C-alpha cells in the first residue's frame, strides 16, 4: 500500500523533484503539497505548478490531511512551524532543511519527545559514506596531517558553510578529539599562521553547481583528497524518500540518515 506523504517547500528545487519522482513511484501517494502563506501559486494544482501533469492536489499553506510522514525542505523558520504541526497531529517528520541554528535544533529535539524526527543535512548515500570514511582517514593519519574542507554550491544557496560541510566537520572533530574552536572559516588575515590543530572550511558559491564536498589531508610530501560530487538532485530526492519510508511508524526519538542506511 502506498505511503501517504506531505511535502513542504513544494515549489522549491528539492520540492519540485520530490513531486516528480514520488508521483512516478508506486510506493508513494502525495496527499499534500505545502508552500508559504501568500505564495503566488496557492490553490494551483501542485503538478502543474512545477511544470508537470496535474496531480489532483492543490498547493496549500496549511496541512488539512494526516499523512504517514511529512517531508520538509522549506526554511529554518518554517521548519519550526511544521514541527509544531507534526507534534499536534502525531506525524513523523523527515527534514532536509539546512542552515539551522541552536533554536531550530532545540525545536527538533523537543519534537522528538513526541514523534519520530529525522534531520539530514544531506540525504545522499555517498555523503553518508564520505562522513564515515573521512573520519576514519583522520584517525589513521593522525595529527601531523592538515585537514581542510572545501564545499561548492550554486549561487542561490543561502547558508554557508553548507549543512553537509558542517556535519562533515563535526565528524572530523569527534574523530580527532578537537573542539569547534579548532574550526577556521576561510582565511583573510595577513599575519596569522595556520595552527596545526585547525580544520579549515571554505565555501564557494558559483553558477549552478549542485554540490561538491572535498576533504584534503596534507602532510609533508604528500596529500590525500576524498570528494563527493553531486551531478543532479535526484540522488538527494531518492535518499529523502527512502528515509521518509523508513521513518514512518517509528517510535518517538531523533534519528539520523545513518540509521536509515544501517551504517
Helix, strand or coil for residue 54?
A: coil
Write out the three cell numbers for 17: 523533484
Clarify whether residues 179 and 252 are in a common domain: no
* CATH code where residue 150 lies: 3.30.360.10
Clarify whether residues 78 and 176 are in a common domain: no
Q: Note the pLDDT tens digit of each residue in 105-122.
A: 999 999 999 999 999 989
Clarify whether residues 211 and 149 are in a common domain: yes
Q: Give 162: exposed, middle or buried? Use CB within 10 Å, 0-12, 13-18, 19+.
A: buried
Structure confidence at residue 98 (pLDDT): 86
Phi, psi (degrees; rounded to nearest 5) at 137: -60, -40
Clarify whether residues 50 and 16 are in a common domain: yes
Structure confidence at residue 263 (pLDDT): 78
Clarify whether residues 130 and 146 are in a common domain: yes
Clarify whether residues 212 and 257 are in a common domain: no
Write out the three cell numbers for 189: 588575515
CA atoms within 13 A on the CB side of 92: 22
Residues labelled as active-site residues: 153, 157
What are 185's strand-pairing partners? Answer: 201
State how many domains the chain has. 2
Clarify whether residues 112 and 215 are in a common domain: no
Clarify whether residues 218 and 251 are in a common domain: no
Clarify whether residues 189 and 216 are in a common domain: yes
Q: Note the pLDDT tens digit of each residue in 54-109.
A: 999 999 999 999 999 999 999 998 999 999 999 999 999 999 998 888 999 999 99
Question: Rounded distance, CA 19 to CA 28, Å?
Answer: 10
Question: Rounded distance, CA 54 to CA 44, Å?
Answer: 10
What rounded mean pLDDT belongs to the chain?
A: 94
Binned at pLDDT 50, 70 and 90, residue 204 comes out as very high
* Angle (nearest 5°) at CA 30 between 261 and 163: 45
pLDDT at 188 over 90: no
Clarify whether residues 252 and 159 are in a common domain: no
The answer to pTM > 0.85 is no
Query: What single DSSP character describes residue 20?
Result: H
pLDDT at 202 over 80: yes
* CATH code where residue 19 lies: 3.40.50.720
Domain range enclosing 19: 3-119+233-261
Yes or no: say if 120 and 257 are a contact pair by the CB < 8 Å rule: yes
C-alpha distances (whole Å) from 49 to each of 10, 74, 97, 106, 112 are 9, 16, 21, 33, 33
Question: Rounded distance, CA 86 to CA 81, Å?
Answer: 9
Clarify whether residues 145 and 168 are in a common domain: yes
Clarify whether residues 40 and 131 are in a common domain: no
Write out the three cell numbers for 112: 522528538
Amino acid at each position: 500500500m502506498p505511503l501517504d506523504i506531505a511535502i513542504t517547500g513544494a515549489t522549491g528545487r528539492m520540492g519540485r523533484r520530490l513531486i516528480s519522482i514520488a508521483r512516478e513511484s508506486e510506493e508513494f501517494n502525495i496527499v499534500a503539497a505545502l508552500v508559504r502563506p501568500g505564495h503566488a501559486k496557492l490553490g494551483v494544482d501542485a503538478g502543474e505548478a512545477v511544470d508537470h501533469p496535474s496531480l489532483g492536489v492543490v498547493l496549500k499553506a496549511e496541512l488539512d490531511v494526516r499523512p504517514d510522514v511529512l517531508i520538509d525542505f522549506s526554511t529554518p523558520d518554517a521548519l519550526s512551524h511544521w514541527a509544531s504541526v507534526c507534534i499536534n497531529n502525531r506525524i513523523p517528520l523527515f527534514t532536509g532543511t539546512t542552515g539551522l541554528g541552536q533554536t531550530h535544533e532545540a525545536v527538533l529535539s523537543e519534537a522528538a519527545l513526541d514523534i519520530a524526527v529525522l534531520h539530514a543535512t544531506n540525504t545522499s548515500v555517498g555523503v553518508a559514506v564520505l562522513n564515515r570514511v573521512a573520519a576514519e582517514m583522520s584517525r589513521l593519519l593522525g595529527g601531523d596531517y592538515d585537514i581542510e574542507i572545501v564545499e561548492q554550491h550554486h549561487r542561490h544557496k543561502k547558508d554557508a558553510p553548507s549543512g553537509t560541510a558542517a556535519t562533515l566537520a563535526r565528524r572530523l572533530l569527534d574523530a580527532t578529539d578537537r573542539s569547534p574552536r579548532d574550526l577556521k572559516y576561510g582565511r583573510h588575515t595577513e599575519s596569522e599562521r595556520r595552527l596545526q590543530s585547525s580544520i579549515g572550511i571554505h565555501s564557494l558559491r558559483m553558477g549552478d553547481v549542485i554540490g561538491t564536498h572535498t576533504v584534503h589531508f596534507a602532510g609533508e610530501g604528500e596529500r590525500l583528497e576524498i570528494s563527493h560530487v553531486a551531478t543532479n538532485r535526484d540522488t538527494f530526492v531518492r535518499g529523502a524518500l527512502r528515509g521518509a519510508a523508513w521513518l514512518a511508524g517509528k517510535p518517538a526519538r531523533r534519528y539520523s540518515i545513518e540509521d536509515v542506511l544501517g551504517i
